[in-house]
Amino acid sequence: MFKPTSVLIVLSSFLFISASYAQSPQICPGNLTLSTQAEVDAFKCREVGGSLTISGEDIVDLGPLARLRTIGRYLSISDNTALNSVVDAFPSLTTVGWGISVYYNPNLVTFSGFDALPATGDNIDFWFNDSLARVLGFGSLQTAGWSLEFGGNPNLVSIPGFESLQTISSSLFVLDNRSLPSITGFNALQYVDWSFDIVGNSSLDSVCGFNDYFTLSEGTYTGGGSFNISENGSGLTDPTTIQDILDAGPCPPTVSPDGILGPWGVPDGLLHVYGTGPSESAAQDFPVPSRLKVTSVWIRAARTGAPTDFYYVTLRRELDGEVLGRSVNVDVSGVISEDEIFASGEWVEFALPTPVTLRKGDYFVQMERTGPGDQSNYINWFTDWENPLPDHAGWVRNDEGEWIMYDEILSDEFLIMVDYIK
């Protein structure tokens, strides 16, 4: 599979400037390189006149870049071996004169945080990031000034964060992402100028995110380059035609429209929530990237036995802290409440009678039970052992009433999703 090299050629000509820029005013001319966490921590610029390159073995946190508003040329994030997540690192960034390149970050799992960015002048590229699972947080992006590219990311499972994107000024490439099951979230797309290539994604069974685009174009491809959807999963015809996309229809509704808060992975394990003893209660902490009004919390759960009491969840700023919101009761029999917790395991909605406003920061979903329960009749809360948000984890209460991390070695996440309104 080919890889466009234009961005790499440009990047190779960057003038690298030392960290002495940190002493400069908020407007920093020229090209800058951050190669250590110390340099990231010392970053003071609101505007970078040239390109900003972030590449270093010990860089783990890009949070200090949150004040950055303008990059004159490229933003390059590459070869950061210790970087696990980029979450809301660029909330103030409104201008990228050229493009964004994310390459060769072997441990990067989650990438988000460009919600203020309306356009780029050049490519947006994600290539060869071995652990990358989700690309989120481009909710305001309307124009990709050149190509939008995802290639050679073997663990990529979700790219839902482009729901406002209208124009791709050159090409769309989705190539050789072997774990990607579907492409959603491109409902606003109106124009792709050149090539439209989705090739070699062996798990890809749905491209429903482009149904509206091809409906708008009346079943034709108007770009001047190639149209190629082939060598993907068994759920797609090979090659896939525009008529195939139209026949499959639009994507079904999703729980979290832009995916910021979940789901966080494929469940590998589960925790028994009895209602007595060490597992009488469980909780999941999660980050809120920007102000949200939460209307429902969804839990991936299964039933064991026939518990007859109710489960509900609360939203809190800290474990056992003030209750910010309480869901309705869900009874596992399905007789009283509309939702039921099945033995086979399903996503279960815990609706909030009154929406709860959460501001940026960390919060907890705490699961409660109205009765004492027993070890024959309980529910199971599914977990994900491959935690994409390393600073967050599931929690359980021990016999002494203390909260402990569910598994400090594996840092398990309990699987949650959140319905919300921005």
Query: What one-letter code names the amino acid at 241?
Result: T
**Are 49 and 170 members of one domain?**
yes
- Per-residue model confidence (pLDDT) at position 14: 29
For the stretch 284-317, what's the b/e string if a residue is b when 16 or more beta carbons lie within 10 angstroms of its beta carbon? Answer: bbbbbbbebebbbbbbbbbbbeebeebbbbbbbe
Domain assignment present for residue 254? The answer is: no
- Look at strands 269-273 and 378-384 and give their pairing: antiparallel
pLDDT: which is higher, 312 or 189: 189
CB 393, CB 277: distance < 8 Å = no
Mean of the pLDDT values across residues 360-375?
78
Q: Pick from 135, 132, 386: which is nearest to 260 by CA?
A: 135
Percent of all residues in the chain with a pLDDT value above 90, rounded to a whole number: 40
| pLDDT over threshold 90, residue 295 | no
Residues 338 and 359: their CA atoms lie apart, in Å, by 30
Strand order in the sheet with 172-175: 32-34, 52-54, 75-78, 100-103, 124-127, 148-151, 172-175, 196-199, 227-230
Structure tokens at 159: 């790219």
**Are 243 and 368 members of one domain?**
no
| pLDDT over threshold 60, residue 91 | yes
**Are 93 and 18 members of one domain?**
yes
Q: Is 395 helix (H, G, I), strand (E, B) or coil?
A: strand
Q: Please spell the DSSP secondary structure of 277-333, one letter per residue.
A: GGGS-EEEEEEE-S-EEEEEEEEEEEEES---SEEEEEEESSTT--EEEEPPPEETT
Which residues, at least 6 apart from 129, have a Cβ–Cβ distance to it below 8 Å? 102, 103, 104, 105, 106, 108, 153, 156
**Are 86 and 195 members of one domain?**
yes
Domain assignment present for residue 253? The answer is: no
Domain assignment present for residue 243? The answer is: yes
**Are 161 and 240 members of one domain?**
yes
Mean of the pLDDT values across residues 47-54?
97
pTM over 0.85, yes/no: no
Domain assignment present for residue 258? The answer is: no
* Listed ranges 72-76, 365-369, 403-407; the one with the highest mean pLDDT: 72-76
Residues 145 and 171: their CA atoms lie apart, in Å, by 10
| pLDDT over threshold 60, residue 410 | no
- Per-residue model confidence (pLDDT) at position 274: 53
Residues 170 and 340: their CA atoms lie apart, in Å, by 48
| pLDDT over threshold 90, residue 3 | no
Q: Please say which residue of 248, 283, 312 terminates a domain.
A: 248
CA 75, 192, 5, 14 torsion-angle sign: negative
- Per-residue model confidence (pLDDT) at position 329: 82
Mean of the pLDDT values across residues 338-364?
77
The continuous run of DSSP H or E covering 413 comes out as strand 413-414
| pLDDT over threshold 50, residue 254 | no
- Per-residue model confidence (pLDDT) at position 16: 31
- Per-residue model confidence (pLDDT) at position 9: 26
**Are 239 and 287 members of one domain?**
no
Percent of all residues in the chain with a pLDDT value above 70, rounded to a whole number: 77
- On average, the pLDDT of the chain sits at 80
- Tell me the pLDDT tens digit for each residue of 368-400: 877 666 666 777 787 776 555 656 778 887 767
Domain assignment present for residue 260? The answer is: no
- Tell me the pLDDT tens digit for each residue of 8-39: 222 222 223 333 334 445 899 999 999 999 99
Domain assignment present for residue 37? The answer is: yes
- Per-residue model confidence (pLDDT) at position 178: 92
Domain assignment present for residue 135? The answer is: yes
**Are 205 and 89 members of one domain?**
yes
Query: What one-letter code names the amino acid at 60?
Result: V
**Are 414 and 279 members of one domain?**
yes
- Per-residue model confidence (pLDDT) at position 343: 58
CATH of the domain at 80: 3.80.10
**Are 337 and 193 members of one domain?**
no
Range of lowest pLDDT (108-122, 288-302, 334-348): 334-348
As a dihedral over the C-alpha atoms of residue 352, residue 355, residue 356, residue 360, rounded to 10 degrees, the angle is 120
**Are 280 and 233 members of one domain?**
no
- Tell me the pLDDT tens digit for each residue of 114-155: 888 999 999 999 999 998 887 877 888 999 999 999 999 998
pLDDT: which is higher, 185 or 175: 175
**Are 224 and 280 members of one domain?**
no
pLDDT: which is higher, 314 or 286: 314
Structure tokens at 152: 């050679």
Structural domain total, the chain: 2
**What is the span of the domain harbouring residue 76?**
6-248
| pLDDT over threshold 70, residue 278 | no
The continuous run of DSSP H or E covering 52 comes out as strand 52-54
Q: Please say which residue of 215, 248, 281 terminates a domain.
A: 248
Domain assignment present for residue 261? The answer is: no
| pLDDT over threshold 60, residue 284 | yes
- Tell me the pLDDT tens digit for each residue of 177-219: 998 888 988 989 999 999 999 999 999 989 989 999 999 888 8
CATH of the domain at 329: 2.60.120
**Are 135 and 194 members of one domain?**
yes
pLDDT: which is higher, 329 or 4: 329
